[in-house]
């Protein structure tokens, strides 16, 4: 259920899902919880995009001093890089919402086991269980040195 954003253990204004004993994994209630969490996260990211566009329009100036102009360009460059990462995250959120719609959310893409509610609370877009993610990271380190 939505709560205040000031809550220390909430993610995007949502309290972590509390499972009940004997509850079926990824039932409708859990799917709805994660759908709402993902939609709230996406809305926050989209609001950031709007703020960035407004900020860049408002702050854009043609400074006569090259150092001032360079500082502004660097600031804008950092903001645009951040927005690009967020754009990729929005795509990942959309893909995750699609998994929920297909009833495939919460299961590891590699081995098919439950990813787990706690892991999904920490990383709602996770597609691998902890074991498969750990193996993938070890392989990546071995390849890239």
**pLDDT at position 145:** 67
> Domain of 52?
28-107
Q: What is the pTM of this model?
A: 0.80
21 found inside a domain: no
114 found inside a domain: no
41 found inside a domain: yes
112: enclosing H helix or E strand: none
- CATH code, domain with 75: 1.20.120.910
Tell me which residue of 4, 28, 40, 34 sits closest to 16, measured CA to CA: 34
Tell me which residue of 15, 13, 4, 5 sits closest to 39, measured CA to CA: 13
66 found inside a domain: yes
d(CA 51, CA 55): 6
7 found inside a domain: no
83 found inside a domain: yes
**How many domains does one find in the chain?**
1
Query: Any idea what the Cα angle at residue 83 is, between residues 82 and 88, rounded to 5°?
Result: 100
Query: 37-82 pLDDT, tens per residue?
Result: 999 999 999 998 888 878 777 777 777 888 888 888 888 899 889 9
């Amino acid at each position: 259920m939505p709560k205040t954003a000031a809550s220390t253990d909430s993610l995007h204004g949502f309290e972590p899902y509390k499972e009940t004993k004997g509850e079926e994994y990824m039932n409708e209630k859990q799917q709805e919880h994660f759908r709402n969490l993902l939609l709230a996260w996406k809305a926050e990211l989209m609001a950031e995009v709007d703020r960035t566009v407004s900020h860049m329009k408002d702050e854009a100036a043609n400074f006569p001093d090259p150092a001032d102009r360079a500082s502004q360009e660097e600031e804008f460059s950092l903001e645009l890089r951040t927005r690009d990462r967020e754009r990729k995250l929005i795509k990942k959120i959309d893909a995750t919402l699609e998994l929920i719609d297909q009833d495939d959310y919460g299961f590891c893409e590699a081995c098919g086991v439950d990813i787990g509610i706690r892991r999904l609370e920490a990383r709602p877009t996770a597609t691998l269980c902890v074991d498969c993610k750990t193996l993938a990271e070890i392989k990546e380190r071995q390849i890239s040195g």
